Chain A
Amino acid sequence: MTLLQLEDVGVRFGGLQALQGVDLEVKQGEIFGLLGPNGAGKTTLFNVISGLTAPSSGTVRWRGASLDGLSSHRIARLGIARTFQNLRLFSSMSCLENVLVGLHQHASQQPLAALLQTQSFRRRESQLQQQALALLDLFQLEDTAHQDAASLSYGDRRRLEIARALASRPQLLLLDEPAAGMNPSEKDELRELIRRIRDQFKLTVLIIEHHVPLMLGLCDRLAVLNFGQRIALGSPDQVRRDPAVIEAYLGGGA
């Protein structure tokens, strides 16, 4: 079943055509990779899906319904969560609070109960805390739960951002270069982790990553972008042999 569908999506920033006529279909449950050289428009595509950038042309559909004109918090509540290429954690908050912010968006709002700290409110609040700790546990961050997010190591911050994204209980998770700055063994762990959370949370994953071997080993299908256009689409094997991909990555005549 098609979860996310991009139809002829184009984005123009002044004179720069960042994306042009991109068609994509992401099916439920798959890990779909986006490859492409720097400046190919991958992050712009994520920004369009998550509502941070409005497409100049074309439409994004979520379960068949258009996302046109929806603000990013509405899109997030529909079940699309993302991480950022340059890490955007809530740096003055603890790891636990970072995750709690996401969890809260699914709990019903009860201002009066919160004000009076009723028994049922406190019980529910401690349930949310337990859920948040469980999520941190999954990413081996339970020991740093009460530390400021800014104090974590780079790799831990990357993992915390994924944990935070999962807290909003998404159906589609957009990962923007999750392995950036990680060493080879961390990359291997990350690959297993992405598979595991896909199965455990019944997720669909759309992932941008430059590390080609990681992507070929992880993704069910891949699309390759170059200069804002989709130049290839298919299984890892198909993409690896595609002449247009070889041309884009290695230059003509290679």
Chain B
Amino acid sequence: MDAGLLEQMLLGALLGLSVYLPLRCGQLSLATPGFFAIGGTVAALLSTRVPALAGSGSTYPITSVLLEMALAALLTGVLALGLGRVVLRLRGIYLAIATIALVEILRVVTLNLEFTGGALGIFGIPQPFDSAAGYAAFTLALLALICWLCDRLEKNRPGRAMAAIRDDELAAASQGINTADTKLLAFVLSALVAGITGVVAAHFLNSWNAKLGNFDASITTLAFVVFGGSRTWLGPVFGGLLLTALPELLRPVGDLRLIVFGAVILVGPLFFPKGVITPELFKSFKRRIRGTPTAAAQGVKP
């Protein structure tokens, strides 16, 4: 497989995780492309305007990329913390609309500001890696780290609190869960993931402009989670990888590819309403490996 496509798939998986985190808490936030755009703009600006970051070697130093990531995380985190307090008071579709507005505001502002390059954007972003394979390895490590963190989150107290809020917010509050803070945590984590993904994407794409964080991206990234499933972190990773690859893999069928792509997104929820990857899938998988259903898995005492 082409390493460039692999890199795009990995970035898709990361963005899927960013949409997934609030959704696991029952919050439909479409703000991911907005925070992604902030991360990308931070990286584009720092790496092209700050000579001190460029280093002396032929390639752009990775430590500088990490520094950009830290700064992007700080910026998106603080913004999400402030915005989240306000927008998370909205529920359901109203939250979605408010977050779409956020993405649009950021896009229009970036489009019209002088220092972000206006409609043309920023060009010649320096390359920390010689090849796409280098990017893919770096992004794979980043994805692995974030998946590990998500796994720990899900299996512990904050993850259970998030699931409780998704199932029944009122009952969760009555059990002593601070629902406002838990939702805010999910929103901020989502923004951090999107922000640092933007940094990697900016270097990989070599140029950055306002169009990269638009409404289309909101819908595409949401499709990753709807298709993959929002019950475990594996769902959005699977959805992000597959749905990013699909349009490229379908290139041979020409113009039909967009129709096939649309059909997959449409048929996915019809046949897999909880997404393709669900906890039940793991259970049945485990059972199949062990041969017979165990008493514990069935919940029956011998």
A105 at the binding interface (Cβ < 8 Å) = yes
A211→B174 CA distance, assembly (Å): 25
B286 at the binding interface (Cβ < 8 Å) = no
A80→B187 CA distance, assembly (Å): 29
A60→B51 CA distance, assembly (Å): 64
B178 at the binding interface (Cβ < 8 Å) = yes
Chain A residue contacts of B167, Cβ below 8 A: 89-93
Chain A residue contacts of B168, Cβ below 8 A: 88-91
Q: Tell me if B152 and A90 are in contact (CB < 8 A).
A: no
Cβ of A81 to closest chain B Cβ, rounded Å:
7
A202 at the binding interface (Cβ < 8 Å) = no
Chain B residue contacts of A167, Cβ below 8 A: 175
With contacts A90-B168, A93-B164 taken as known, whether A146 is within 8 angstroms of B175 at the C-beta atoms is no
Chain A residue contacts of B164, Cβ below 8 A: 90, 93, 101
Chain A residue contacts of B299, Cβ below 8 A: 143-147
Q: Tell me if B175 and A76 are in contact (CB < 8 A).
A: yes
Chain A residue contacts of B171, Cβ below 8 A: 84, 88-90
Chain A residue contacts of B301, Cβ below 8 A: 142-143
Chain A residue contacts of B176, Cβ below 8 A: 73, 76-77, 102, 105, 168
8 A Cβ contacts from B217-273 to A: 231
Question: Interface stretch among B35-43, B126-134, B155-163?
Answer: B155-163
Contact with A along B145-182 (1 / 0, CB 8 A): 00001001000111011011011101111111111000
Chain A residue contacts of B163, Cβ below 8 A: 90, 92-93, 97
Cross-chain contact of B177 among A52, A101, A111, A143 (Cβ < 8 A): A101
8 A Cβ contacts from A119-151 to B: 142-147
Q: Tell me if A72 and B160 are in contact (CB < 8 A).
A: no
Q: Tell me if B157 and A114 are in contact (CB < 8 A).
A: yes
Chain B residue contacts of A109, Cβ below 8 A: 157
A104 at the binding interface (Cβ < 8 Å) = yes
A100→B164 CA distance, assembly (Å): 11
B281 at the binding interface (Cβ < 8 Å) = no
Closest chain A residue, CB of each to CB of B283? A146
Q: Tell me if A71 and B173 are in contact (CB < 8 A).
A: yes
B300 at the binding interface (Cβ < 8 Å) = yes
A50 at the binding interface (Cβ < 8 Å) = yes
Chain A residue contacts of B158, Cβ below 8 A: 111
A153→B297 CA distance, assembly (Å): 19
Closest chain A residue, CB of each to CB of B301? A143
B296 at the binding interface (Cβ < 8 Å) = yes
Closest chain A residue, CB of each to CB of B157? A104
Closest chain B residue, CB of each to CB of A114? B156
A107→B160 CA distance, assembly (Å): 14
Chain B residue contacts of A114, Cβ below 8 A: 152, 156-157
Q: Tell me if A76 and B174 are in contact (CB < 8 A).
A: yes
Closest chain A residue, CB of each to CB of B148? A115
Q: Tell me if B178 and A101 are in contact (CB < 8 A).
A: no
A73→B175 CA distance, assembly (Å): 7
Q: Tell me if B297 and A105 are in contact (CB < 8 A).
A: no
A114→B168 CA distance, assembly (Å): 25
Residues of A with Cβ closer than 8 Å to B? 50, 52, 71-73, 76-77, 81-82, 84, 88-93, 97, 100-102, 104-105, 107, 109, 111, 114-115, 117, 142-147, 164-165, 167-168
Can you list 30 A-B contacts with CB-CB less than 8 angstroms, sorted by A residue number?
Answer: A50-B174, A72-B174, A73-B173, A73-B174, A73-B176, A73-B177, A84-B174, A88-B168, A89-B171, A90-B167, A90-B172, A92-B166, A92-B167, A97-B160, A101-B175, A102-B176, A104-B157, A104-B161, A105-B175, A105-B176, A105-B177, A114-B152, A114-B157, A115-B152, A143-B300, A144-B299, A147-B299, A164-B175, A167-B175, A168-B175
Shortest Cβ-Cβ A-B pairs, 10 listed: A105-B176, A88-B171, A76-B176, A90-B167, A72-B173, A114-B156, A147-B299, A146-B299, A77-B176, A88-B168
